[in-house]
A and B are shown apart, each in its own frame.
Chain A
Amino acid sequence: MEKTSEISDRLREHLKDSIVEMKNPRERRIFLRVKKEAFRETLEYVVNDLGFKHLSAITGVDLGTEIELLYHVVLNDAVVLTLGFSVPKEKSTTRTITDLVPSAVLYEREVHELLGVGFEGHPNLIPLVLPEGWPQDVYPLRKEWQLEQLRKIALEK
């Protein structure tokens, strides 16, 4: 727990007012949500200064009017920090992190096609898993799309 709380303390000290929510549910786990404008700087601090070099995944969550992006980054001896922020659902875009963490390329493509979040500056934001010819405005992981509708689209295509 020492390492985890030490990192939380450093984050709290460094970020101050940018923090929206911070949780420490158990050892080796930190959930941190920041304001959208503070995200980039926070990620740089976490990757470069705190040493969270390994990006495990990016999760997109549909919150209704907003899409929440969660970046799961890992420190060598296994502290998993989930760093998140929200973007508005309509015309949602954010800056890519591929210049900082190159392996985000595939994860950003996945979030883009399944939840409809744009990533400015991404080298090639083409579909990753959906079939060719999939309608552009259908984002399957958004809550308004029901399985039956998606199945119909997949069959009609």
Chain B
Amino acid sequence: MGYASTIKVPFGPQHPALKEPESFIFEVEGDIVVNVTARLGYVHRGVEKAFERRTYIQNLYLAERVCGICSHAHTTCYVQAIEELLNIDPPPRAKYIRTIIAELERLHSHSLWVGVAAHEAGFDTLFMYTWRDREEVMELLEAISGNRVHYAMNTIGGVRRDMPAETFPTVKKHMDSFEKRVNEYSHIMKTEQTFLKRTTGVGILKPEDAVSTCAVGPNLRASGIKEDVRADEPYAAYGETPFQVIVHGGGDVLCRALVRIAEMTESINIIRYALDHIPDGPVRIRAPVAVPAGEAVSRVEAPRGELIHYAKSNGTIKPERYKVRAPTLANIPSLAKTLIGAHLADVPLILAGIDPCFSCMDRMVFVDQNKDKQWVWNMEELKRHAKVERN
């Protein structure tokens, strides 16, 4: 290269590519990255310690709040671990509802990612479109569970709310219209030069590196490795639902996009199948409060990949030890590998390309029952309200 020395470029903690704090230091030679070190933990909240202090029921709410995007994946993983320790099996209908919510969650998570990736690739029109369409899924989740982000559907021994059969046609109608949009994104990503030029051959992760760095989820599958917890170790209703594990061989950012787009189509089909085949019956069984001593490992395919929880119980109402390993941590070693040798200008795109976790906006809805009126407060109004209350 002919450069006498390298320069260190700090990225973050207030990050240009993600709306979450994470710090990277890139050592660059010219504009090629030669080394990268990551510093995590800016949002470390001590959740594992907190698990030990709370009862199993309280921990349900804690597990829900590990992540603001894949909250359902975390509670599914949690309740599966505890159900295994209690040796109880939730009713079949509950398993189907878990599957439907999980796939709706994957749909909104992936479409969020498509928007972010499009934004990083300099294609903001697609970003606007995907986030508009994502609202459709969010509203559907709100209609089913009452919440946009923390659906609070899972409980130990089943789910907390049933999905009435009257809601199925609405869900299906939305799936039809959403599918059209997904096909449109797929077409755009495969043909639009703005996107292709920016993503083809960028951030390549070779299959052997993907395996040796223990990458997970769509990033692993975009490197040609066919692994998916839903298929390898069927949980909830995945064992009874036909679906394909999407694999692409290229290993670049484009393939990561194509894998996620194709997975969205699969998710829509899984939801349709589940709605058609959901059995009748109860949605939960009573679970004891105290959990006998034992240990369990639970795995779930979250939108970002393999999520693993380890639970150790001691016979009381609180766990002895609870361990959570979220998929993004597993993808950091492979990310470091793909960043080395990349152009500095590609860094935000590659970073966003692994789909690291993201925070969500809050909002509140008020209902005046006497006047049958609804309104929404925006952030400014919330702040104003907070000020008035404090004074």
Contact = CB atoms under 8 A, between A and B. Distances in A.
A86 interface: no
Contact of B233 (A54, A59, A78, A128): A78
Contacts of B48: 114, 141
Chain B contact patch, size range: 20 to 34
Interface in B136-158: none
Secondary structure of the B side of the interface?
A: mixed
Given A80-B297, A147-B53, A128 B40 contact: yes
Interface stretch (B71-79, B98-106, B324-332): B324-332
B46 A150 contact: yes
B321 A140 contact: no
A103 interface: yes
Contacts of B169: none
Nearest to B220: A54
Interface string A120-135: 0000000111110000
Interface string B49-93: 110010000000000000000000000000000001000000000
A80 B306 CA distance: 12
Interface stretch (A9-17, A26-34, A36-44): A26-34
B84 A130 contact: no
A26 B84 CA distance: 9
B337 to A, nearest CB: 9
A105 B333 contact: yes
B295 A31 contact: yes
Interface stretch (B118-126, B127-135, B209-217, B243-251): B209-217
Contacts of A57: 308, 310, 323, 325
Contacts of B227: 54, 76
B95 interface: no
- Chain A: number of interface residues, binned into ranges: 35 or more
Nearest to B310: A59
B211 A53 contact: yes
B260 interface: no
A106 B333 contact: yes
Interface in B174-200: none
B84 A102 contact: no
A102 B212 contact: yes
B81 to A, nearest CB: 11
Contacts of A8: none
B296 interface: yes
Nearest to B234: A78
Given A31-B295, A56-B214, A82-B297, A72 B310 contact: yes
Given A80-B297, A101-B214, A56 B308 contact: yes
A55 interface: yes
Interface string A136-151: 0000110000010010
Contacts of B323: 57, 59
Interface in B210-235: 211-214, 227, 229, 232-233
A77 B299 CA distance: 13
Contact of A103 (B53, B320, B330): B330
Nearest to A105: B333
Given A77-B232, A103-B330, A105-B333, A59 B321 contact: yes
B40 A103 contact: no
Contacts of A127: 41
Contacts of B308: 56-57, 72
Contacts of B50: 147
A129 B312 contact: no
B344 to A, nearest CB: 23
Given A56-B306, A147-B50, A103 B233 contact: no
A107 B320 CA distance: 20
B44 interface: yes
A29 to B, nearest CB: 6
Contacts of A70: 310
Given A57-B310, A72-B310, A103-B213, 5 more contacts: A29-B297, A53-B212, A101-B214, A102-B213, A107-B325
27 contacts: A25-B84, A28-B233, A29-B296, A53-B211, A53-B212, A54-B227, A55-B214, A56-B308, A59-B321, A61-B321, A72-B297, A72-B308, A78-B233, A78-B299, A82-B310, A102-B333, A103-B213, A103-B214, A127-B41, A129-B40, A129-B44, A130-B44, A131-B41, A140-B46, A141-B48, A141-B49, A147-B50
Interface of B: 40-41, 44, 46, 48-50, 53, 84, 211-214, 227, 229, 232-233, 294-297, 299, 306, 308, 310, 312, 320-321, 323, 325, 329-330, 332-333
